[in-house]
Structure 1
Amino acid sequence: MTEPIPSADWETRITARPPAAQSREDPGHSFPPRPVAAVHVTPLHLSALDREISHELDGYLPDGVAVRAVPRPVPPEQVRPPLWRRPPGRAGDDDRGEGTGVFRPDDRFEFSDTSFPWRTCGRVQTPAGWASGVMVGPRHMLTASHAVPWLASGGADWMTFTPAQFDTSTPFGTTHSTRVYSWLRAHGADGIDSTEAAFDYVVCVLSRRLGDTVGWMGSRAYSTDWDGKPVWGHVGYPFDIGSGARPVYHPRGVMDGTVGESASGRTSFRIVHRNDAVAGQSGGPFFGWWDGDPWPRVVAGQSAENWGREGGPNAAGGGSALPALIDYARSVEP
């Protein structure tokens, strides 16, 4: 047992030494690199590969990682009440109703599951706010084009990705984007038009190979044969549930129809749907499971939420150009 020091009349002499010069220095901050390089992919880029671009890409399930087809919901006592919510279409005293991007019943729920494939989804942070994304390669993350902070100089401002972020918990860390590949730059300042919605996705190459740890989803070109089928899952970080800091899952999503658009020599779909989606979910994947595959495949990324009061649909971007963009980015920067 350590004895207390007895009270006494002691004289203590301390020799003061000046601190080392480096300890007086301001340590400063560490920032992601900016600007981020950006590549507007054209048919010339594809022809340089000297092979056909794939419209169906495999995913990756790391060894020993648990798999769940549906994420475990957050226990009821841990659910964070919405910051702001009115029933869709119902006006308040100021005659403003909640955007009809949310439809009754609201099937979304919070989860903190870090099994596969839920660990592949994450939060995208930019100087302008946040969006959602998903790993689609060893260091390749898919998110919305309109979420990218495009610069007039031709590149983009900084972007980071944190897979499976839940509040302040970041089990797999955060990494930054080093390059962005796109067919089309959607800015979204004045809304998203039909062509922008159809091509509203980019592939960000990350500074480290997160996919080796968390895995990644496969991808497949959306087919109109799947319209009306309640088979799609969606993960995003909406502002109205979890304050944009918790992943939210939407089960049994249905795609209603498609509108074909062309850009950069490719064709993509604006996929209209009435799955619940609000700001923050942009870039989050719509994905499905196929028999025999150990991982799901992304078919679209959330693009535009309808904030009118006429009950119009939301929109996602997908089609053969989506896996083609992923394939190109994975090929030139494996």
Structure 2
Amino acid sequence: MVGKRAVLTASHMVPWGAPNGAMQFVAGYFDGSSSVGQGGQSWATTAHGYAGQDVTAHDMAVVRLADPLGDWVGFMGTKPFDSSWQGGAYWTSVGYPGAVSDQRPSFQSGIHVIDDDEDGDGQELEHHADETPGDSGGPFFAGWSDGPYAVGTVAGYEVVSGPLGIGSEDNNISAGGPALGGLVGFARANWT
């Protein structure tokens, strides 16, 4: 949650243009139910973001919920990633990795960003967290004195090989940068 009606996710998780596409957000999803109790879920009414993106610096979207769950369960802020944070083991990733359980949440803390690649107003935050399919769309965040802030959303995994394997990179990617703040700012301003 990044606003009272806004959920941050990966763009490739949104059924853009699907005639019968639907998304439901379940706060604290655990074994098929909301861990916050009755009413801890809401259907998406619309999405705003970068349609057609998959494991890129712009693989992000915000989803508007029919119900203002953020008023009840709270929500985190966002910050653009600062290159001076590179190498610091500050970050946490939360998701539902199929390699562990797609019915129970999993998290990993102490993650460090090894590189941040700019792509216009987006950033690919490269790291080696233990992420598998199912983690997509989860927050990539840290805690500050005034609460948690997302710097990205989990996009996926990339393999980039140079000539003869030189310069290859096998990294997990979280999409972030000023583009993320722009999407969340749009949602907060328009989805009251």
TM-score, scaled to structure 1: 0.52
Match of 2:132 in 1: 278
| Residue 187 of structure 1, CA deviation | 5.1
Which among 128, 140, 148 is matched to residue 6 of structure 2?
140
**1:297-330 deviation per Cα after TM superposition (whole angstroms, max 9, x unaligned):** 010111012479x771111101111112101111
> Which runs of 5 or more structure 1 residues have no equivalent in the other structure?
1-134
Among residues 229, 250, 253, which one is paired with 2:88 in the alignment?
229
SS in 1 for 2:136: coil
In 1, the alpha carbon distance for the partners of 2:24 and 2:18 equals 20
- 8 Å Cα contact 1:143/1:203 also seen in 2: yes
State the SS of the aligned residue for 1:198.
coil
- Match of 1:258, as an amino acid? D
- Once superposed, what is the RMSD of the aligned Cα atoms? 2.0
- 2:33 match: secondary structure: coil
Determine if the alignment matches structure 1 residue 162 to structure 2 residue 29. no
User: Which structure 2 residue ranges, 5 or more long, are not aligned?
Assistant: 161-167
Higher strand share: 2
State the 4+ residue runs in structure 1 displaced beyond 4 angstroms.
none
Q: 1:259 to 1:187 in 2, by over 3 A?
A: closer
1:35-74 map, 5 Å: none
Q: Does 1:331 align with 2:189?
A: yes
How many residues align? The count is: 183
TM-score by length of 2: 0.88
Of 105, 108, 113, 1:250 maps to: 108
Residue deviations 1:9-62 (CA, integer Å, cap 9, x gap): xxxxxxxxxxxxxxxxxxxxxxxxxxxxxxxxxxxxxxxxxxxxxxxxxxxxxx
Q: Which residue type is aligned with residue 202 of structure 1?
A: A
- Given the alignment, which residue of 15, 18, 24 partners 1:149? 15
Contact 1:150 1:187 in 2 (8 A): no
Does residue 299 of structure 1 match 2:151?
Answer: yes
Q: CA–CA distance in 2 between the matches of 1:187 and 1:247?
A: 25
After superposition, what is the alpha-carbon deviation per residue over 1:260-319, rounded to whole angstroms, capped at 9, x for unaligned? Answer: 113xxxx1101111111100100111111123x1x21010111012479x7711111011
Structure number with larger C-alpha Rg: 1
